[in-house]
Amino acid sequence: MIIVIHCKDDIGLVAAISNVLSAHQLNIVSMREHVDVQSNRFYVRLQVDQTTDEEILHEKLLGVLPSDAMITINPLPHKRIVVLVTKEYHCLTDILIRNYFGTLGATVLGVIGNHGHLGDICKRFDVPFFAVSHEQKNKSDFEQEISSIISSYEPDYIVLAKFMRILSPDFVALFPTKIINIHHSFLPAFIGANPYKQAFERGVKLIGATAHFVTNDLDEGPIIAQQIIPVNHSLTAADMMKAGKEIETSVLAKALRMVFEDRVFVYKNKTVVFE
């Protein structure tokens, strides 16, 4: 069973939590904690090797923690996700393979594409694919169709695996802190389209990728994971793009693992990640 808590920092929080767990005969297998001194926030992730009545445990923990405490008790940390795609296959394929072999930490309920290009690969892995074109319809209708499909599955998270459409504030508001995006750049550099072309023209010596939660600010949501690799003048923009796709796949996989294992805390526009 996984227990994650964040709240205002105070003296004796670890002792108070431990006492509650001990009273419920719960043995702590691992515990990671962090205090953000600047914001006076306390974060803790605990793994215990027994289960108990979640509602009673939740109530007891609330009784010993500050009034703003956010507590999640998750006895089955296997998540449910819907994936949104456009045409690029590399991130989706990695997700589908991990899903097939049971190593993703989540179940892919369905894939939605604004083009039909990736329907065949989903069929091969026996995952439902929905083609929802954004063409010849307004953005509101397009997003309504997508959100209806997503809501029918009631997923824990939505993964944008190279979904090349900007989502509206109304859509994002439907799924707060549930939309995870992989951006083909080491943010905050080269925001928006054609980042590898931008990087090539700028003559950069490092390129990278960023996985983050989606907010109303384009490519500026809380960052989950990032990675970079060195490049030099001998690489073309196409070479950078090829290398970048490998980084994107790796970074997204790492970010999803962290999120699915309840290792990521979001507070305002920052994250605390217990790797």
User: CB pairs under 8 A, 24+ apart, for 142-145?
Assistant: 142/114, 143/167, 143/168, 143/170, 143/171
Query: Of 146-155, 193-202, 221-230, 266-275, where does mean pLDDT reach its minimum?
Result: 193-202
Mean pLDDT of the chain: 91
Q: Evaluate whether 143 touches 171 at the Cβ level (below 8 Å).
A: yes
Over residues 63-77, mean pLDDT: 89
pLDDT at 42: 97
Provide the residue ranges of all domains of the chain, joining segments of one domain with +: 2-74, 79-273
Phi, psi dihedral angles at 94 (to 5 degrees): -60, -40
Return the residue matching tokens 């690799």. Answer: 229
CATH no. for 2-74: 3.30.70.260
**SS3 assignment, position 232:** coil
Over residues 115-127, mean pLDDT: 97
User: Which has more confidence, 74 or 258?
Assistant: 258
What is the per-residue DSSP string for 174-218?
HSTTTEEEEESSSTTSS-SS-HHHHHHHHT-SEEEEEEEE--SST
pLDDT at 81: 98
Separation between Cα atoms, residue 103 and residue 84, nearest integer Å: 20
Residue 190 scores a pLDDT above 80:
no
pLDDT at 188: 54
Q: Is 219 a catalytic residue?
A: yes
User: pTM score, two decimals?
Assistant: 0.89
Over residues 221-243, mean pLDDT: 83
Rounded percentage of the chain residues whose pLDDT exceeds 70: 94
Return the residue matching tokens 């996700």. Answer: 81
Length of the chain: 275
Separation between Cα atoms, residue 6 and residue 266, nearest integer Å: 9
Which residue in 9, 10, 141, 219 is the catalytic one? Answer: 219
Over residues 114-118, mean pLDDT: 96
Q: Evaluate whether 77 touches 261 at the Cβ level (below 8 Å).
A: yes
| pLDDT band at residue 268 using 50, 70 and 90 as cut-offs | confident
Q: Look at the domain 79-273 and name its fold.
A: Rossmann fold (3.40.50)
Q: Beta strand 179-183 with 223-230: parallel, antiparallel or unpaired?
A: unpaired
**Could you give the residue ranges of the DSSP H alpha helices within the chain?**
13-23, 54-64, 90-100, 119-124, 139-153, 169-174, 195-202, 237-260
Angle between the N-to-C axes of helices 54-64 and 13-23, in degrees from 0 to 180, rounded to the nearest 10: 150
Tokens representing residue 203 in the block: 């003559």
Q: Decide: residue 195, CB within 10 A, 0-12 exposed, 13-18 middle, 19+ buried.
A: buried
Rounded percentage of the chain residues whose pLDDT exceeds 90: 74
pLDDT at 191: 61
Over residues 7-30, mean pLDDT: 96
pLDDT at 202: 74
pLDDT at 193: 60
User: What contacts 28, CB < 8 A, 6 or more positions away?
Assistant: 18, 21, 46, 47, 48
pLDDT at 75: 67
pLDDT at 187: 46
Identify the H or E element spanning 131. Answer: strand 129-131
